[in-house]
Homo-oligomer: A and B are copies of this chain.
Amino acid sequence: MIPEMVFFLIDLFGSAAFALSGAMVACQKKADLFGVVFLAETTALGGGMIRDVLLGRFPPAMFTNWQDLNVALAMALVVFFAVLRHSETYYREEALVERINNLVDAVGLGMFAVTGCQVAAAAGYQANGFLVVFMGTITAVGGGLLRDIILGEIPFILTKYIYALAAIAGATSYYLLDRWGADSTLAAAVGICVTFVLRWLATRYKWNLPRPA
């Protein structure tokens, strides 16, 4: 029973982290109360929704896991009213906001990369490594991708330093450790850390992949 509780908590924290990050992006766009809640929920739940549709799990988990929905709502309201009260400070400290956002987002990225793999494996696809890692990655990047598409922006995954690659690396670590019989809590911890550290280092040192001049 313990691993199940572990994945429940990771999923909850991941939702909170992504909702926080989504609400901050929405506030930067000067969205209204509805927009902030909508974009926070999209960022938090969108990746899992895409994963469930691709796996054929109906209705998607967001319609039965109330805790994710509610924690994302709570984060959206906290961010919205904090920004409403201190909007001047908020918009002046843009660089700080960006840095906090990147950090929180990297935590959510690692957590969802792991829970996404876990859901795909539990659905009976353990033997298909590509499918499992893909589902981990889309769970991690899908919410932000959907939010950026709705806002009409070039998605994070195409512009941020090593964003999707960090999720792929974390999902792959988790998948391999799990296949090799490692303790699943340990495998999850390694997957989250790999994603977080890789993403953080890439942001810190502005690592880029090659591109044509």
Residue positions of A touching B, CB distance < 8 A: 27, 30-35, 38, 49, 53-56, 58-60, 63-64, 66, 69, 83-84, 87, 90-91, 125, 128, 130-131, 134, 145, 149-155, 157-158, 164-165, 208-213
Contact = CB atoms under 8 A, between A and B. Distances in A.
A84 B56 CA distance: 40
Overall SS of chain A's interface: helix
22 contacts: A31-B211, A32-B210, A32-B211, A33-B209, A33-B210, A34-B164, A34-B165, A34-B209, A35-B158, A35-B211, A38-B158, A54-B58, A54-B60, A56-B58, A59-B131, A63-B131, A64-B128, A69-B130, A87-B212, A90-B212, A150-B155, A151-B154
A64 B66 CA distance: 33
Contacts of A91: 212
A35 B159 CA distance: 8
Contact of A209 (B32, B54, B58, B59): B32
A34 B211 CA distance: 9
Nearest to A152: B152
B213 A87 contact: yes
A164 B38 contact: yes
Contacts of A131: 59, 63
Nearest to A66: B130
Contacts of A33: 209-211
Nearest to A154: B152
Given A54-B60, A56-B58, A130-B63, A212 B154 contact: no
